[in-house]
Structure 1
Amino acid sequence: MNKEHKIATSMYRKIAIDIAQSVADGKYVEGQKLFGRSVLASQYKVSPETIRKAVYILKDMGILDTEKGSGVEVISVSKAREFVNRYHEIESIHSAQSDIAHWAQKQTQEIADVIQKIQFIVDTAERFKNSSPLTPFEITITKESTVIGKSADELRFWHNTGGTIIAIKRNNDLIVSPGPYATFREGDIFYVIGNDQTYAAIKKLLFE
């Protein structure tokens, strides 16, 4: 199916829905004649063939009737309402399917990002462990901490503890290599590398 055919198909269906909606809303009543196809074509700015296809759909649904020489007539308001309601239900399903597909794609990407960040931390910790006596560990910032709201730079974190912050887990986010301006917030988990004295120094800095 080529692109032009797709556009024409979507247009005549859209027009059919629009006419059915007008009937369902009471703009047209049963027995009332609609404008001729040429007038409708001008109104919707499409070809008469597109209008013919739209009218055919509504005739097939029992909403309109056509007779040669007498134009297009509304024959059922109730079927117009049924047709419109069914259309909106299908649209809702398609919208939900699209939302689910988008959500699944986003979740897949987020999971891949988290795995990549975790691997970075593991690789970094392993590299330091194999090349020096530094040890990786984690510190949770609880409400008892005296440094909540302050940054690593303000606390002269590295100078006072000898530890290097390699990542922060904040809610569902993992911040890798946060730098000296990383702030301490309640609930954060800080991943740090340092020597045997670093852990004790950090506990003293953050909680005393």
Structure 2
Amino acid sequence: MEQARYQEIAMDIAHAIMMGEYHEGEKIHGRSTLAGRYNVSPETVRRAIAILQNVGVVIVNQGVGITVTSKAMAEKFVKSFNQKGEIQIFLEDLKKLMDQRRENDLKIESHLNKLQGYVDRIMSRWLDVGEIEVGKNSPAVGKTLRELRIRERTGTTVIAVVRDGSEQFSPEASFVLRGEDVLLAAGSAEGQMRLQQLIL
């Protein structure tokens, strides 16, 4: 399964924390520096940091920057990422076996479907981060995140809100949305589509 560049960067930073390059409580280079280091745009780095914040590896505070919060969570993230790769290889082998023995291998097909669903759930929880803009005339304008009940209605988690070029990470439930706010949302593609319909 091909990885997005921001997913690779999140994995690399988590691995650096696990190996002791960064320590708990230590600040990581700013997004512009990381963008130069990985030769990507600041938006790509922002998505990578959003993933790590969502799983408790780092925290981002306005005026302070990116701070490492948990080496243990970095190790957990790296191990989970590696496990997904192992599962994907196993799935590919099963697909080849099904091509050869589809008529007699109904049990293998059942296992494949279960494993694929498991991988999809893990990938959605850890890695899928989308950017969705609030429409100027959206009914969501002027409402708080609590009132919109985004998690209950879409299954996604709002990791951050980008307003006028500045990010508000882990916004409170009382955060009031404005037109042209951009939500960084973690969740499945289906959930992000429901969120887009909710705030357009």
Q: TM-score, length-normalised on structure 1?
A: 0.46
Q: TM-score, length-normalised on structure 2?
A: 0.47
Larger radius of gyration: 1
